[in-house]
Structure 1
Amino acid sequence: MSAVPVIDLRAWFDGDRADRERVAARVDAALSEIGFLVVTGHGVPAGPRERIREAAGRFFALPEEVKARYAATVGERGWLPPGVEANGYAEGTPTPPDLKETFAAGADRPTGDAAIDAEWFQPNVWPAEEPELEPLVVDHLARMRALAGELLVICAAALGLAPDFFTSRAGHPSYTLNINRYPPLSRLGPPEPGQFRIGPHTDFGTVTVLDRQDGVGGLQVHTPEGGWANAPFVEDSFTINTGDLLARWTGDRWRSGRHRVLPPDPSAPDEELLSLVYFYECDPGAVIESLGPPVGRVAHPPVRASEFLLERLDAITLR
């Protein structure tokens, strides 16, 4: 498989047992071969997502000194200005900072464990200048958590496991929505050598649910043949990829999908893109034991989710 498959989830939600088995088998094949798939028929309405883009666009258009009131860094809530993140470092590759700015929100319901809450369940930060953003994002977070949970149920079916095999470790999960703005070339000027909108990397958690816009400087995935290919763009779809934690959980049966977002291209100097990227993880305290053979290929030692994820977040943070 050298291309990212498009899978219609209506067959999972509305079909019979055979339909659901076919969907699960296609998911298994996609995650085994490339670590990516595109889903349609997901049931998440497009209108609220476009309103998030509009509200976030108004926030990003504010003067920098206003946005700075909400400044944060990787793993925190609020505005991540340009220059604080370089995803290539996750692979051990020093690269210039990623060409983006981000507004981040996520799980904020405390567990009662002060150390866990300070790291994974921080209060969200909402800009007073754009009050519409909070209700829209809160609604979107709920929809994304429901979809991500169902994707993990499909993943369990794909491996012939109990439906709650993965979700039973996600009773109080951590998750983050990054609203990424990729400014146009006409504003940035030429990128530095080796600089991307997001450098080559894999994600860190279980599944990522990406709502993206089509563009010249868009998403590319790394194929089994060793080359980069443009991810397919399908209207009203989500691009799904496996993260490092889920790949490890399956004993490397599934690939953690390596990807990048290309720098702005001279052929489209005014192209500005805005992506909604939902990163789903699991309970921070969960101990993840990989599925060895015959389901998986490698029986990795157990890891605590929070420690596994923090190591990767620290690697991409520029100080």
Structure 2
Amino acid sequence: MSTSTIPTIDLSLWRTGDRQDRDRLAVTVDQALERAGFLLVTGHGVHPDLPAAIRTAARTFFHQPADAKLPFLAKTGQYGWSGPGAVATGRAEGVMTPPDLVETWSAAPGPYDATAGRPEPEMLPDSWPSRPPALRPLLTQYVRSMRALADELLELLAAALRRTLDFFTRHTTRPDWTLTLNWYPAINTTGAPRPGQFRVGPHTDFGTITVLDRQPGKGGLQIHTEDSGWQDAPYDPEALTVNIGDLMARWTGDRWRSGRHRVLAPPADARSEDLLSLVYFFDCDPHTVVESLPAPIGRVAHSPVTARAYVRSKVAEIALR
């Protein structure tokens, strides 16, 4: 997949560059999100030691037997561990795919205290594994970085639409977000995939933006465009992968494309390959009414939707239990 389709954006230029640098970045972002809905982002400020430490801690948890993880099972609409067979993401597109070959740990913000200004809420779930003890503080640190990065990206996206910089961030004072650790076990663990089975089935994300720290692999991320079909996603070890979701596409009146993607099944010729991705799904304040921008920016006038209700309705489509 060409670098013109999915370019690399250096956020340090957005922070410190002159007017011309910022304008060029905004144009590049606009064009990339029209074509594929994906960007690679460097200059993001996340030290590589942090996701590496998270992967070490998370693998300690995921590699335990199922009965050790069962006390942390995420019940419907809650957060924590989800084991094999919990979701079939391709069903969001109306395709009855088999369950995804993935285990997850998910976290989200707890209730905000309306009487205390803008404090950071506690992170859900309430119960965290004692093995490893480092998982919760590492994810707390990572979420803090992602939260700041998401707002910075939304300002860049507003500039790409020639809107005021706070066009999106005025709707992210107390936002919904979910941090999900996707563990993709090796084929030695999962067994041979069924026909049409993926680590994550074909789909578009549901919210505004997604920030992904991923590992490359044969059973890795693929991106779909109308011009090229399915292609392996570009990878840069120094970059985060960013894509927009359905809410953002609706907000722009389909000027921008909700990035369609999938994660391939575990490969038979790399039987020990297990991968772990850090996925930060960022939405906006729960009661935000998302309305399509009019022409000439917008191209399709979608019916208004309420942010949290829309995202939850889409999540319900892929849940198997």
| Structural mapping, 1:1-319, within 5 Å | 3-73=5-75, 75-110=77-112, 123-225=125-227, 227-319=229-321
> What is the alpha-carbon root mean square deviation over aligned residues?
1.8
Q: In 1, are the aligned partners of 2:107 and 2:124 still within 8 Å (CA)?
A: no
Change (3 A) 1:124 1:160: farther
Q: In 2, are the aligned partners of 1:222 and 1:228 still within 8 Å (CA)?
A: yes
Tell me the residue number matched to 1:116.
Answer: none
Q: Hey, what's the Cα distance between the residues in 2 that align with 1:207 and 1:122? A: 21
Q: In 2, are the aligned partners of 1:30 and 1:37 still within 8 Å (CA)?
A: yes
Q: Deviations over 1:11-52 (max 9, x none)?
A: 112211111111111111110111011111111111111101
Q: Hey, what's the Cα distance between the residues in 1 that align with 2:297 and 2:104? A: 38
* TM-score where L is the length of structure 1: 0.94
1:226, CA displacement in angstroms? 5.4
1:129, CA displacement in angstroms? 2.2
Change (3 A) 1:125 1:176: farther
Q: Hey, what's the Cα distance between the residues in 1 that align with 2:282 and 2:82? A: 19
1:123, CA displacement in angstroms? 4.3
Structure 2: unaligned runs, 5 residues or longer: 115-122
Amino acid of the structure 1 residue aligned with 2:137: P
- Match of 2:259, SS state, is coil
- Match of 1:76, SS state, is coil
Change (3 A) 1:296 1:74: farther
Aligned pair count reads 313
Tell me the residue number matched to 2:119.
Answer: none
1:202, CA displacement in angstroms? 0.3
Q: In 1, are the aligned partners of 2:176 and 2:308 still within 8 Å (CA)?
A: no
Change (3 A) 1:75 1:276: farther
Amino acid of the structure 2 residue aligned with 1:72: A
1:128, CA displacement in angstroms? 2.0
Q: Hey, what's the Cα distance between the residues in 2 that align with 1:77 and 1:216? A: 29
Judge which range, 247-256 or 3-12, deviates more: 3-12
Q: In 1, are the aligned partners of 2:286 and 2:308 still within 8 Å (CA)?
A: yes
Amino acid of the structure 2 residue aligned with 1:147: L
1:109, CA displacement in angstroms? 3.6
1:224, CA displacement in angstroms? 2.2
* TM-score where L is the length of structure 2: 0.94
Change (3 A) 1:209 1:180: same
Amino acid of the structure 1 residue aligned with 2:165: P
Q: Hey, what's the Cα distance between the residues in 2 that align with 1:72 and 1:316? A: 15
Q: In 1, are the aligned partners of 2:104 and 2:182 still within 8 Å (CA)?
A: yes
Q: In 1, are the aligned partners of 2:89 and 2:100 still within 8 Å (CA)?
A: yes
Q: Hey, what's the Cα distance between the residues in 2 that align with 1:67 and 1:123? A: 14
Q: Hey, what's the Cα distance between the residues in 1 that align with 2:157 and 2:113? A: 27
1:301, CA displacement in angstroms? 2.1
Structure 1: unaligned runs, 5 residues or longer: 113-120
Change (3 A) 1:111 1:86: farther
Q: In 2, are the aligned partners of 1:74 and 1:313 still within 8 Å (CA)?
A: no
Judge which range, 63-72 or 121-130, deviates more: 121-130
- Match of 1:160, SS state, is coil
Q: In 1, are the aligned partners of 2:80 and 2:125 still within 8 Å (CA)?
A: no
Tell me the residue number matched to 2:118.
Answer: none
Amino acid of the structure 2 residue aligned with 1:79: W
Amino acid of the structure 2 residue aligned with 1:216: K
1:318, CA displacement in angstroms? 0.4
Q: Hey, what's the Cα distance between the residues in 2 that align with 1:71 and 1:131? A: 17
Q: In 2, are the aligned partners of 1:207 and 1:279 still within 8 Å (CA)?
A: yes
